[in-house]
Structures are given as C-alpha cells and as structure tokens.
Structure 1
Amino acid sequence: MPDGNGVPHLVDLQAPVQPRMQTNEDDNEYWLFTRKNDNEKQVLKFNDSDSVRQSNYDPNLPLTVIVHGWNNNGDSNMNLVVRSAFLHVGQYNVIVVDWSKSLSICYTASVKAVPNTGKRIGRFLEWLINNFGGNWDSVHMVGHSLGAHVVGNAGRAVSGKVARITGMDPAGPQFGGNPAALNGADARYVECIHTDGGVLGIYDPICQSNFYPNGGKHPQPGCLFSPCSHTRSYEFFSASVKIDNFIGTKCGNLDELKSNVCNGSQLRMGNTELYKNGTGLYRLKISLKQLQ
C-alpha cells in the first residue's frame, strides 16, 4: 500500500496491532504559513501563547488546516501543493498539521490513531480561536487519504461548527462502515473528491457532496498505477483553488455515475468558497492539460 506520496509499502491488513506508547498533545505539530512566511514554517505550540503571539497568525484572516495521510509528514508534497494554492489566491492562515508521530508502519495501527489525532487537532483549534481570535465560519479543513478522516474527527470534536471540510480521496481500506470515517455531519459543508475509489480511496458517497472526476476510479489521466490516481485528488483540488473551473453534473445514483449518463444540476468542485452548498453525486471530466 502506498503512502500519501505514492511510495509503496508492504502491508498486512490482517496483522495483529502491537500496543502503542501512550500519545499526548505534543504528538501533533502545527506549522503556520502565511503570505508573510509562505516558505518558512512558524511552529505553533498548544498551550504556548508566545508561539502564537510571535507568529504571523491573523485572526481576521480565514484559516485553512491541511492534514496529510499515512506514512507522510508535514513536508510531504501534498502539503506544499495545497498550501501554495491557497496562498497564491489570497490571504490565509494556513496551518499544516504534522501527525507523523502518531503514525505507524502498520496501517491498521495508523487507522486506530485517527480518532484521537482528530480530537487533538480539535482541542488545539479551540485553544487557538478562543485565546487569539478567529471564527469557525472561516475555517476550512482539508485532508488527504487517512488525513481526510482525521479532519472529520477534528470537525466533530470542536464546540463550534467548522465552515467546510474537503476530503481528498478519503482512505478506503478499513473505513467501510467505520464510525471514525469522515461523514457529512462533520462540518457545515463537507465535500469529497474521489479519484481512486474502491482501491486506496473510498468509493461510497460519504460526504454531502461527492465528486467523481473521470468516474472516481483508477486510472486517472496519466496514471499507470493506483497510487498515482490517489494523488490526483489533491492535484485536482489544488487546481480548483487556483482556477475554480471544474464543474460536476449531478447523478441520480451510483449506477448513473458509473454509466456516465448524469444530467442533473451542476456544482463547482473544490475551490475556496466557505459558504458553499450542495448535496449528492457529481461526475466531471478533468484532463492533465487542465492541471497545467
């Protein structure tokens, strides 16, 4: 099974899970990027007020929180691509969450770490907004693969209602029927972008709006292997942040979607809109040329 960068790892999904050392709040790191420090992280530390006061955090700006997937860290390519897209189009507080200390080479153990990791992010955001300002109506959480389920758990852990969550090809293995999976109630608006459904990503429409570029399965354009299709989700999303021109057509059900006979209403996929609305399944075509 590949990590969030598409690097393959041999995984036994039936292997027994070894007990992990007890985790704590410091297992998550929070890296702030703004247009004033778009390439240099400023580390915000939970319960360390000076780390925020001495940073470029601006409570008057919208907040984007980005969470990586399995066997990745804050320096993974997904974080760079997504944060750069947001800072390209506007003024944002972008917080990249590094939760690599909670991850294991054992995928099953990493799945079990998802709920507590999300809760820790929720506690951090509560502390940040309550003490330094901000508004839940301007919070957009974005997660790839396992990270999509992490942001879902973070959204349900906070006292306010997060404006929006975007799940970029939420991880599929071990998340069918899993209560820790991202769901449509985790924020005011929850959107999924499915690109490797049924293999590394989940194919089920678990979000309020579910977009299926090119049918939502492997192979995506230019991809020979499933890990490539899995990463297309964050490439498609980042492109939508910058150009906002990916328009899905609503499908009545998964059978219509699979047969490519959708003819319902239209909705833009991705973008940065905080007050977005929509429900259902949407199919659209995206080519490699549109990513350039």
Structure 2
Amino acid sequence: VSLCLTDSCEEQSGEESCDNFTDLNLSHCFMGTSLYVRLLLYTRSNLDCGRELDHHRLSSQPLFNLSRPTAFVIHGYRPTGAPPIWIDHIVHLLAEQEDMNVIVVDWNKGAANLNYFTAVTYTREAARNLTGFIMTMEEEGAALSSLHLIGVSLGAHLAGFVGANLKGKIGRITGLDPAGPMFTSTTPEERLDPSDAMFVDVLHTDMDSFGLRGAHGHIDFYANGGVDQPGCPKTIFAGKSYFVCDHQRSVFLFLCALNRTCSLTGYPCSSYGDFLDGRCLQCEAFKPASCPVLGYDISRWRETLLRLGQTKVFFSTTASLPYKKLSYRVDMVTWNQYLRWGVVYIRLHSGRHFTEARVDHKLLRLEQYTSTRLLAQFDEDLQHIQKISLRISTGNVIGPRYKIRLLRIRFTPLERPERPLMCRFDIIMDENMEVAFRPLPCNSPH
C-alpha cells in the first residue's frame, strides 16, 4: 500500500494518484460553496490512498467489491472548510472491524459555508445524490442490508434522508450527535428517526447546544447525560473549543469504542438523574447478553432492542482517553439516631495508589434503619483493593458533630463480574470525618 503525503502522490506502480478529501479554507466559506459530492473509497488494500468512485460506473474501480459490506462515513457542517481531523482514524478503525468497503462521503463543497442554513438545505440534495449511488450498487448486486451509514452532526440527518429515500431498507445508521439547530421542532420525516434503517443507533453529547435533544434511534446513548462533557471548557474564553468540544466528543467516543480501548456500557434508564441515583444498574431485559456497549458490534443486542422499541441508555466518562469509568453499586444500611443529609466521598486504595468517587449530584437522606443505594464511579481501575476510605459530608460546621452508623456497606463491581463483592459491617463514623477500613468478603459475618 502506498502512502499519500501530498495531494498528487503516485502509487508505487506509477499508475494512479490518491484522491484526497476536499481541502477548502475560510475564503471559500465567506464566498459560499455550491454542492458537489465526491465518494472516496478505502479498503484494506488502499487504506492510505483514497480512490474516487464514479457515481454511475462502479465497475471502473476494481477495488470496489460489492459482495463486501460497505460503510459510508458522512461528515457534517464545515464552517472553516478544513477536512475533519478524524477522517483517517475512522477509515482505519472501520477496516479493522471486518473486510469492508469504507466510503467517505465528501460533500465539503456544500457543507463549507458561513451560512449554516445553506448547508442544511444542501443535505437533501446530497442525500438524493447518495441515494442514486446506492440504488446503482443495489442494481449491481449489493444488499441494502449490508450497508452502514455513519453520520456526524448534520451528516446524521443526511444519512436519515438517504434511509428514508430507500424505505428504511438500509441495514444500519449510526448518528453521532445529530445536529440540533433547524431540527429541534421538526417531524420525524425531516430528521433522523428509527424508521430510516433496519437499525438506528444514536450517541448524544451536546444536546444543550449543537446537538439534538430527545431520542431518535432504536437505541440512544447519552454520554454524561448527553450534555456537558468532562474536560470541555466551561467559559467562552477558551475560544473555538468552547463551542465545539462537547459536540465533537461524540466522534472521539465512537473512535475509542471502535479501537476497543473503551468499553463504554450503557444502562437503560428513563433519565440521567435516575442513573446517577443507582436506580438503573441492571439489564434484565438484555439477558443472557450484558448491558449494551457503544461501538460497532451491536448485533448481540439488536434483536432485543427491536423488540423493546426505543431505548435510552446512559453512561458517564472521564475527561480523556480511554474515557471509561469504573462503576460500583454501593448499598448501605444506616442506623444513625438523628436524620442527616449529606454527600458521600469514597476512596479505593491499592498500595500507594487511590481513586476517588464523589456522589454529590444531590443530598442523600441518612436516617435510622434506611437502605440507600449509590452509584460510585471512579476514574481509575484499581484491581486489588486493600483499603476503602469513606467520608459523609453534611456541611455542618458549627453545631455538634453527629455520629453516623452503617450496619452494612456493600460494593458490587458492575462491569467486572469476575471480581468479588466487598463488604464491611457495623461502622461508626463522625459526619465530615473520614473513616478507613479493610474490605471483607460479603459472606463474612464481621
């Protein structure tokens, strides 16, 4: 395979040059661009050297094998005209999943406009163009069920329009944070929705800004509730990153899932708040399979999801790669004499290393003989836990310090079923003061 380092590099055979994604700049965006759709083919034989496909003469490209599955990668709005930084990554990672055709749908001429509304208008036209190409594929022997459209932002709706044009017979559409502006109050026919393909999965990361609120697939994954992503700027002083970080995180989470370095498990729930409260930490409907995991291989859960109807699943992430948090279900039985309200801080210790979870999204009610369930999420995966420290902060700084008694506390690892449950019995602690203990097997009486 030859490596193309310039816009017009030659293959080692000297026969053909690589076809690269259209590279525009701000001047094009100021002037506005007219729609022109290019289809760039990548296979395991030419991962670093795209081949532009003729929309009507598929046989002219010998690398294009219609008996293989085909994934179409569709970018979104490009306000600067530059190629997406993630294109090469997703091409390589998709090719690692299985032997497939990866087609990058380059509609940068059309998406690169300072006027976002112009780009929105072009999605319909680009969808008609891509629909015609797929119909030609079908005429020459390709199965629609073997096609997978992956659309980013505005590209997610473009993929939905293609699917609707083909009566929902496309095998799968993946929407990565479908665009919100101009689509918020539209009908299902005017945006991505579950009827657009045999299976539609959606990832939300920026619903309070550039992303679309609601549920729009057979399964919708909500990272950190689908809004503010850890590590993204919270003020406008961060510049461009403040506007795009949450929205772009959907792509980076999907890339990480494709790379199999992130195993991001989604828990079916009605809301992110209920998930954080520990009310949705079982996946009974999905047995014998586990809870759904974000990524390419969703076939294990497909039949269950189609039977269940639209399903929302929630998960939390860290601020950086590999994004995965280690989750424990924590069950406590309190026996303190006085009613207290507080938040819980838990540290897991392994040698000199420790990782902390803060269960502080709301105040917990701690009273006599009350069972409380928490979701504790840690940024690091420490395997051999030698010590656990616990602090319950009530905010009481001037009054007498009350005792809090735990008859039992139990730690259940959620995504590591091979690890033992950890327990401790009859702990007496002062509010706002840390207590440390060695975890015991849960079948131990003390």
Q: TM-score range by the shorter chain?
A: 0.7 to 0.9
Could you tell me which residue of structure 1 aligns to residue 270 of structure 2?
A: 252
> Higher RCO, 1 or 2 (CA under 8 Å, sep at least 6)?
1
Tell me the amino acid that sits aligned with residue 100 of structure 2.
Y
Could you tell me which residue of structure 2 aligns to residue 200 of structure 1?
A: 210
Contact kept? 1:85, 1:242, Cα under 8 Å: yes
Bigger fraction of residues in helix: 1
Alpha-carbon spacing, 1:276–1:43, altered in 2? closer, same or farther (3 Å): farther
Structure with the greater alpha carbon radius of gyration = 2
Tell me the amino acid that sits aligned with residue 216 of structure 2.
I
Could you tell me which residue of structure 1 aligns to residue 120 of structure 2?
A: 111
Deviations, residues 231-288 of structure 1 (Å, cap 9, x unaligned)? 1101111221221722100012466358674335221222244675223110012332
Deviations, residues 116-174 of structure 1 (Å, cap 9, x unaligned)? 2112211111112312x321121110010100110010111125611111000111111
Alpha-carbon spacing, 1:130–1:259, altered in 2? closer, same or farther (3 Å): farther
Q: Which of 88, 94, 97 is the aligned partner of 1:89?
A: 97
Contact kept? 2:145, 2:170, Cα under 8 Å: yes
Is the aligned partner of 1:284 residue 2:301? no
Is the aligned partner of 1:233 residue 2:258? no
Could you tell me which residue of structure 2 aligns to residue 136 of structure 1?
A: 144
Could you tell me which residue of structure 1 aligns to residue 67 of structure 2?
A: 60
Alpha-carbon spacing, 1:291–1:41, altered in 2? closer, same or farther (3 Å): farther
Could you tell me which residue of structure 1 aligns to residue 163 of structure 2?
A: 155
Could you tell me which residue of structure 2 aligns to residue 33 of structure 1?
A: 42
Deviations, residues 29-49 of structure 1 (Å, cap 9, x unaligned)? 100000100011110021134
CA distance in 2, matches of 1:74, 1:47: 28
Could you tell me which residue of structure 2 aligns to residue 77 of structure 1?
A: 85
CA distance in 2, matches of 1:135, 1:209: 23
CA distance in 1, matches of 2:45, 2:298: 23
Contact kept? 1:30, 1:43, Cα under 8 Å: yes
Could you tell me which residue of structure 2 aligns to residue 15 of structure 1?
A: none
Could you tell me which residue of structure 1 aligns to residue 12 of structure 2?
A: none
Tell me the amino acid that sits aligned with residue 212 of structure 2.
I
CA distance in 2, matches of 1:96, 1:156: 20
Query: Could you state the TM-score of these two structures normalised by the residue count of structure 2?
Result: 0.56
Q: Aligned ranges for residues 166-245 of structure 1 at < 5 Å?
A: 166-179=174-187, 180-218=190-228, 220-224=229-233, 225-243=242-260, 245=263
Alpha-carbon spacing, 1:166–1:102, altered in 2? closer, same or farther (3 Å): same
Tell me the amino acid that sits aligned with residue 228 of structure 1.
C
Contact kept? 1:60, 1:134, Cα under 8 Å: yes
Contact kept? 2:292, 2:298, Cα under 8 Å: no
Unaligned runs of at least 5 residues, structure 1? 1-6, 12-18
Alpha-carbon spacing, 1:275–1:167, altered in 2? closer, same or farther (3 Å): same
Alpha-carbon spacing, 1:276–1:92, altered in 2? closer, same or farther (3 Å): farther
Contact kept? 2:160, 2:193, Cα under 8 Å: yes
Unaligned runs of at least 5 residues, structure 2? 1-24, 234-241, 284-290, 325-446
Tell me the amino acid that sits aligned with residue 259 of structure 2.
K
CA-based RMSD: 2.9
Could you tell me which residue of structure 2 aligns to residue 48 of structure 1?
A: 57
Alpha-carbon spacing, 1:191–1:169, altered in 2? closer, same or farther (3 Å): same
Could you tell me which residue of structure 2 aligns to residue 16 of structure 1?
A: none
Bigger fraction of residues in strand: 2
Tell me the amino acid that sits aligned with residue 37 of structure 1.
N
Alpha-carbon spacing, 1:140–1:253, altered in 2? closer, same or farther (3 Å): same
Query: Could you state the TM-score of these two structures normalised by the residue count of structure 1?
Result: 0.83
CA distance in 2, matches of 1:70, 1:150: 11
Tell me the amino acid that sits aligned with residue 138 of structure 1.
S
Contact kept? 2:275, 2:281, Cα under 8 Å: no
Q: How many residues align?
A: 270
Deviations, residues 211-237 of structure 1 (Å, cap 9, x unaligned)? 01122112x232212411111101111
Contact kept? 2:223, 2:316, Cα under 8 Å: yes
